[in-house]
Each structure stands twice: as structure tokens, then as C-alpha cells.
Structure 1
């Protein structure tokens, strides 16, 4: 009969060199055993670049990415209470007993010093058996999600009684960006997402030409970056949105808008798009010339080309650029306010400082 070695009872100066000699997988396996073990392993400072989570019918797939191009893969099976770890050629499996397998997510985030999930992915699942109940305890504990991705949906998924929508409501408040990539056929189900305070929202709306993004649903979205892709997008709605921007009556946080109309914009359609905006045609800028707009992600495909470009200016001096591509996609960039007379202000500030110093000197 073997006796367990009381590793964690060793003095700190003895314990830490032992942990440093452990293989990476051994450290991770040790860290999930207890809070005390995690406290010591965390001192080893095993920092990762980022973590992705993908939810499946019967498991959660966790990928931890490191600087050395290595990946830690963790599969947590919710129906068998089993956990698989892979790191390079190393492989470990264990059964965590009565604890849910998903309880390993937060400890691994902790010891790898990861404060948020980069991508939380909801892939296509069975419509009649989504299997989300086992995931709810995990989702309620996630501290922050950089991007929430719904890869494939159906009409049922975004109905008011959808299990997916109920689960999304748990993670939406801690998500910075939302991407819904396929088959949302009723835009009214997306109003909750459009009204959220996200940095970026990207939605694809497929269906017939009667299925549209109504202007009233998205004109007051709070996203800094908004991408809309749909077959039935009305040019008149887009023109009305630009007019609302000119009057400062739409989203004040917006920095970038991309709308895929999926049709060639003829001269007649271009007239509808720019009607009443006093748009000035500009030479086509390169992407490098648009870098001063901030860290805006370029979303064009490699074969897409900008065919025309226009600037519009608001009464307060704020300027925006409308770009149209050969794919019928409209891009809307909002420029930052220009700091007029900045040299004079800096000079006045310097003179004021010197004057105050001079007065203080003779007091």
C-alpha cells in the first residue's frame, strides 16, 4: 500500500523548485486539484496569449494559446464527467468525480493569467436538443468575453422561447463584440443585441428580399463598429441613416459602418444613396491613408475593390467618408474631430506657465 506524498505541505523554498521542474501538463493538472495548489502554480507565471472556448452538444472545447506556438487543448465532457488535456505530444485524461468538468475553465484561466475569453463560440447544434443546461453554471462565471460568435442559427434559435437566446442573455452583458454569422431570418429578434453596449456587432441576414434590416431596429445601435450583411437592404434606409448622422440623431459612438447590399450600385442607386448629403467626391484613398481613423478592422475580401469615394461634413465640422465597392458594399468611416489652433493653444499654455512661475518667484 502506497502513501500519498504531502507535496503542498513542503516549505515554500522547497516546494517552488519542485514545481519549476514539473512538466507543463503536470502543473496544469495540479492546479485544478485545489485552490491551494492553484495559488502555488500561479506563482510560476505561465502566461498565455489568449483562450478560446467552443461549446458543443456534449462538451466544451478549450484552447489556450502561448507565445511558443504551442496550444493546450482541454475537452470537458458534460455527459460523461470526463476531462482530456493535450499539450504537444502529452496527453492526460481524468474523471473529476462529482464536480462538473467545466469547473476546470476558471482555474486554468487563473494559472495562465488570462482575464478574458477571446472567443466564445456557439456552433450549430441540434434544434430539438441544444443541451445548454450543463453549460449555464460555467457561463454565469465567465468574467469577460472579447467576442461572442454564433456560427449557425435557424428561425427557431432566435425566437423569444429559444434556449440559445436564453443562454446568450447570460453572456451578452460581459461581451465586447457579437458576431452572428448565418440564417437570422427575423430581424426583430436581434433588437436586444443592437441596443447593447458592444464595441462591435456583425450580423448576416439571409432570406428573400422581403426580409430586411428595418432602419428603426439598427439606427440607434450603440456599437462602435457595425457590420450588416443582407440581401434585402434598402438603399433609402442607408441614405436616411446618413442624414440622421448629419443631424447628430443616431448612434454617437459609431466609428465604422459596413453594409453589404449584395447588388451593383448603378448611377441611379448612387443618387438615392447620396441624396441630400452634399457629398463631395474624393480620390480613392489607400487603407494606409485611413489608419488615422483608429484601429478599425478592414473587412473587405481580397478581390473587392473600392470604385468611388465621397466625403460628407456635419455642421459641427465632423467629417465622414462613404466608400462603395464593386461588390455593392458601402463603407462608412467617421473621422475624429480636428484639433484646430492646437499650436496656438500649446503656445498660450507655455506662456501662461512661464508667467505664473515668474510671479511665484517674486512673491
Structure 2
């Protein structure tokens, strides 16, 4: 008969060296057992460079980096089995099922023991079939939300619209704790897109974007950094937006704007009435930035 070793009953001066000898993955697994074990593991001062989350249907992937090296990957399933696996490139997989914990509980526990205050990127690839609001509602500050969405099984506009409404419910929960949003998804309903554009974000990036961007879309933007990569933008609307912005009629928070139109726009229409002065492309200028704006490299 095997007797369980009372590890937590060891004196502090003995217990801490035992923790220091543990492999990294063993420490993470041990920290999830209870608040008490997590408190001891935090004393080791393990620190992560950043944490990424990826939501792909019924699975959430958490990736932890230290000094740009992936040190931990956690796959959490939101289906009825709620299975979770923990792994890194040097150790075999830890896997268990605990229906009493949500994926967010694992995320928060690991972030706590790794002294990580915010999630670097939260990436949506595919919406879950299950209600995910209780999960995302627990998440801490998010530096950037990335909306990639891939729905190959959606065959009608009605089905796509319902999925989009599910997505928007999740975004309404996570975007208030996010600094930036990076959108690749092509919204079927323009009002859903506009609800995001008018948020008070540090940065809004629309990349590889096929939705037509209109003057009304530009008018309601409220980001400090706005980047648009599109083929569907009337340069007359962009010209009008520049004029309104210069008069401080719209988006007085805007500090950086980049627009890439994958076409050959008329420069005469774009610059009409702006009194623009051409300068060589090699020219370097310094601009005063108001507030604390983080540059997002994508």
C-alpha cells in the first residue's frame, strides 16, 4: 500500500528548495491544485514575457512565452468533457478533466503564478457552439483582440448572421478590457462592424478587409491609431474625412492614420483642397504624440 507524501507539511526552509528542483511543467501543474500551492510557486518569481490565447471553436489554446521562447502550451476544451492538456517541448503531456473549473480559471491561475498582468493577444478563429460568455467575462486586461473567424460550415446569410451575433456578444465582453482590435473578418452586418469602430481603442486595424469602407464608417471611428488595408474605399470619402479631421469635427483622438488601397486611386481627388506639399519618400520628420500610444507591429 502506497502512502501519500505530505509535501505541503514540510517546513518552509525545506519545502521551497523542493519546489526549486521541480521541472517547469511540474511547477505549473502543482500551482493549479489550490490557492495555497499557487502562493508558494509565486515566491519563485517565474515571469512570462507574454501570454496569447486562441479561441478555435470548442478549444482554447493558451501559449506562454518567456524571453520570446514558448515555454508552455495549454489546450482547454469547452465541450461537455472539459478536458485540459498541459505541455511544453521538453516534457510529456499532463492531461486531466475537472468540470468544476472553467478554462479562464486555468488561465488566471497560470498568469498569477507567472506574474503576468495582461494577455498580449486574444485571437478568435471560430466561435464556440457553447455559451462562452461566463469564460471570457473572467479574463483580465487584453492588449489586443484579433478577429480572424473562419466559418466554412455556414452556408446561408441567416446562419452567418446568427453566428456573427454570437461573435459580437463575445466581443462586447472582451473589448472593454482591450487596448486594440485587429479585424480580418468580413462582417455581414455593417452595424456590427460600426459598433467596434466607435470604441475608444488605442488602435483599430482592418487588414485584408473586403468590406466597403464609407465616409460614415470613418466618421464614427474613435481610435488613436487607425490602419485600413482595403480595395473598397472611395478616395473622395477619404478626402472628405481628412478635411473634417483637420477642422476637429471628427475623431479628435486620432494621432496616426495609415490607409492602403490595393488599387490605383486618383491622387488629384485624394488631395483636392488639402494644400498638401509633396516631399521625398526619404524625408524624416518627428511628430509629437499626445498621450501614451503603443505602436502595434502586426
* TM-score normalised according to structure 1 size: 0.72
Match status 1:131 vs 2:133: no
CA gap 1:159/1:203 in 2 versus in 1, 3 angstroms: farther
Q: For 1:31 and 1:144, locate their aligned partners in 2 and report how far apart those are by CA, in whole Å.
A: 22
Q: Is 141-150 or 181-190 further displaced after alignment?
A: 181-190
Match status 1:281 vs 2:278: yes
Note the C-alpha offset of 1:161. 6.7
Q: Which ranges of 4 or more aligned residues in structure 1 deviate by more than 4 Å? A: 153-161, 204-207, 290-299
Note the C-alpha offset of 1:167. 1.1
Contact 2:194/2:220, CA 8 A, preserved across alignment: no
Contact 1:46/1:112, CA 8 A, preserved across alignment: yes
Give the aligned partner of residue 248 of structure 1: 248
Residue segments in structure 2 that go unaligned for 5+ positions in a row: 152-156
Match status 1:104 vs 2:79: no
Deviations for 1:112-159, whole angstroms, at most 9, x for unmatched residues? 11111111111135xxxx3241x3222111111111011135766566
Contact 2:63/2:70, CA 8 A, preserved across alignment: no
Note the C-alpha offset of 1:94. 3.0
Q: Secondary structure at 1:238's aligned position in 2?
A: helix
Give the aligned partner of residue 14 of structure 2: 14
Q: How many residues end up aligned between the 2 structures?
A: 286
Match for residue 119 of structure 2 among 117, 120, 128: 117
Contact 1:132/1:167, CA 8 A, preserved across alignment: no
Q: Secondary structure at 1:166's aligned position in 2?
A: helix
Q: For 2:23 and 2:268, locate their aligned partners in 1 and report how far apart those are by CA, in whole Å.
A: 66
Query: Bigger radius of gyration, 1 or 2?
Result: 1
Q: Secondary structure at 1:281's aligned position in 2?
A: coil
Contact 1:203/1:229, CA 8 A, preserved across alignment: yes
CA gap 1:291/1:74 in 2 versus in 1, 3 angstroms: farther
Q: Give me the CA root mean square deviation.
A: 2.4
Give the aligned partner of residue 238 of structure 1: 238
Q: Secondary structure at 1:98's aligned position in 2?
A: coil
Note the C-alpha offset of 1:97. 2.8
CA gap 1:161/1:64 in 2 versus in 1, 3 angstroms: closer
Contact 1:157/1:165, CA 8 A, preserved across alignment: no
Note the C-alpha offset of 1:64. 0.4
Matches within 5 A, 1:1-363: 1-67=1-67, 69-79=69-79, 80-100=81-101, 102=103, 103-124=105-126, 130-133=128-131, 135-152=132-149, 162-204=165-207, 206-207=209-210, 212-265=212-265, 269-285=266-282, 289-290=284-285, 296=295
Q: Secondary structure at 1:245's aligned position in 2?
A: helix
Q: Secondary structure at 2:69's aligned position in 1?
A: coil
Residue segments in structure 1 that go unaligned for 5+ positions in a row: 300-363
Deviations for 1:74-99, whole angstroms, at most 9, x for unmatched residues? 11122222221112220232324332
Note the C-alpha offset of 1:282. 1.6
Note the C-alpha offset of 1:298. 6.9
Q: Secondary structure at 1:85's aligned position in 2?
A: strand
CA gap 1:16/1:186 in 2 versus in 1, 3 angstroms: same
* TM-score normalised according to structure 2 size: 0.87
CA gap 1:117/1:158 in 2 versus in 1, 3 angstroms: farther
Note the C-alpha offset of 1:206. 4.9
